[in-house]
Structure 1
Amino acid sequence: MALDRWIALVLLSTCLLYGYVAWFTMDANLAPFMQRKPVWPSSFPKILSILGTALSLVILLGLEKGEQVIGEIDHRRLTDYKLGQAILMLALMVAYALCLRPLGFLGSTTAFLVAGSFILGERRWHVMIPVSLLTAGTIWYLVQEVLGIFLRPLPFFLGN
């Protein structure tokens, strides 16, 4: 069996276990007023378990391939792939995680998005920088103000 089917089998078992927990154990201890609500705390996990199970079965049964024959990765020709970009993006993700607290969310996210788009081939700075600033600001606003989760927007040395 191919690697993608093994991964699908593991995901299928995980989704089935997650679905069992969502359907049978999460709602057992709900307060009486919560039992009359149309949306329960287990509603989203139930939807996720159903979608994950369905998509895992699609991969496991090979329905996604159709008539096309998709080639395997040739490990002897790794230099033909964009391996440098992948390694740089992984290093950039690690650097982003390490810089998140000292630089703050806005600075590190903007720098990550600009550097990531540069690594992937974008060279229009007049597009990259405003889009990155707008994206980082929007995400910060949604997390901080809408969801109410504290996210340090600025570096630690610029205040609270």
Structure 2
Amino acid sequence: MALDRWIALVLLGVCLAYGYAAWFTMDSGLAPFMRRNPIWPSTFPKVLSVLGIVASLIILLGLEKGEEKELDIDYRRLGDYHLGQALMLLALMVAYALCLRPLGFIFSTSAFLILGSFILGERKWHIMVPIALFATLVVWYLVQQVLGIYLRPLPGFIGG
């Protein structure tokens, strides 16, 4: 079986478990007045699980393939790809998640965007830094002010 079908099989298992949780366990603790609502907190997870199951089955059954083509990624030659960049980006994502609360949203997100673009090969610092700062501030403003969700903007030791 090809690599894409193995991945689809794993995703099918995840979607089935997620769907089971969404369909049978999430709604048991709802208050009585919420049971009459047309949209419940589990509506979006139910839709996601069904879409994930359908997509996984399409890949497993091979319905997405027209004619046979050459493999895009040869898993026997992983060393020929930019595996170091991918691993560094994964490590950077973990570091971002760990630093988000103690260092604040603005510093952590800006550092993540700048270091991530550096890992991917961008070297124009005069473009990279302002764009990362602008994107971070726009996202922080939208989440904090428009949606009303509190994000600690600054590190705790500064007063954030």
Normalised by the shorter chain, which TM-score bucket?
0.7 to 0.9
Q: CA deviation at 1:46?
A: 0.9
Once residues 17 and 100 of structure 1 are traced to their aligned partners in structure 2, the CA distance between those partners, rounded to angstroms, is: 29
Q: CA deviation at 1:120?
A: 0.9
Once residues 89 and 14 of structure 1 are traced to their aligned partners in structure 2, the CA distance between those partners, rounded to angstroms, is: 24
> CA separation of 1:44/1:70 partners in 2, compared to 1, >3 Å: closer, same or farther?
same
Size of the alignment, in residue pairs? Answer: 158
Once residues 131 and 155 of structure 2 are traced to their aligned partners in structure 1, the CA distance between those partners, rounded to angstroms, is: 21
- Structure 2 counterpart of 1:108, one-letter code: S
Once residues 128 and 156 of structure 2 are traced to their aligned partners in structure 1, the CA distance between those partners, rounded to angstroms, is: 26
Once residues 36 and 89 of structure 2 are traced to their aligned partners in structure 1, the CA distance between those partners, rounded to angstroms, is: 47
Once residues 116 and 5 of structure 1 are traced to their aligned partners in structure 2, the CA distance between those partners, rounded to angstroms, is: 30
| Residue equivalent to 2:47 | 47
Q: CA deviation at 1:20?
A: 3.2
TM-score by length of 1: 0.80
Structure 2: tracts of 5 or more residues without a match? none
- Structure 1 counterpart of 2:126, one-letter code: H
- Structure 2 counterpart of 1:36, one-letter code: R
Once residues 96 and 21 of structure 2 are traced to their aligned partners in structure 1, the CA distance between those partners, rounded to angstroms, is: 34
| Residue equivalent to 1:97 | 97
Q: CA deviation at 1:93?
A: 2.6
| Residue equivalent to 1:74 | 76
- Structure 2 counterpart of 1:73, one-letter code: Y
Once residues 88 and 22 of structure 2 are traced to their aligned partners in structure 1, the CA distance between those partners, rounded to angstroms, is: 38
Q: CA deviation at 1:114?
A: 1.0
Q: Residues 8-64 of structure 1: CA distance to partner in whole angstroms, max 9, x if unpaired?
A: 223213322322332344334533322332211111111111111011112211233
Once residues 149 and 108 of structure 2 are traced to their aligned partners in structure 1, the CA distance between those partners, rounded to angstroms, is: 18
TM-score by length of 2: 0.80
Once residues 12 and 37 of structure 1 are traced to their aligned partners in structure 2, the CA distance between those partners, rounded to angstroms, is: 30
Q: CA deviation at 1:122?
A: 2.1
Q: What is the correspondence of 1:1-160 to structure 2 with a 5 Å cutoff?
A: 1-67=1-67, 68-71=69-72, 72-75=74-77, 78=79, 80-160=80-160
Once residues 42 and 61 of structure 1 are traced to their aligned partners in structure 2, the CA distance between those partners, rounded to angstroms, is: 28
> CA separation of 1:116/1:15 partners in 2, compared to 1, >3 Å: closer, same or farther?
same
Once residues 102 and 24 of structure 1 are traced to their aligned partners in structure 2, the CA distance between those partners, rounded to angstroms, is: 37
Once residues 48 and 91 of structure 2 are traced to their aligned partners in structure 1, the CA distance between those partners, rounded to angstroms, is: 30
Q: CA deviation at 1:158?
A: 1.4
- When structure 1 is superposed on structure 2, of 50-59 and 141-150 the one drifting more is 141-150
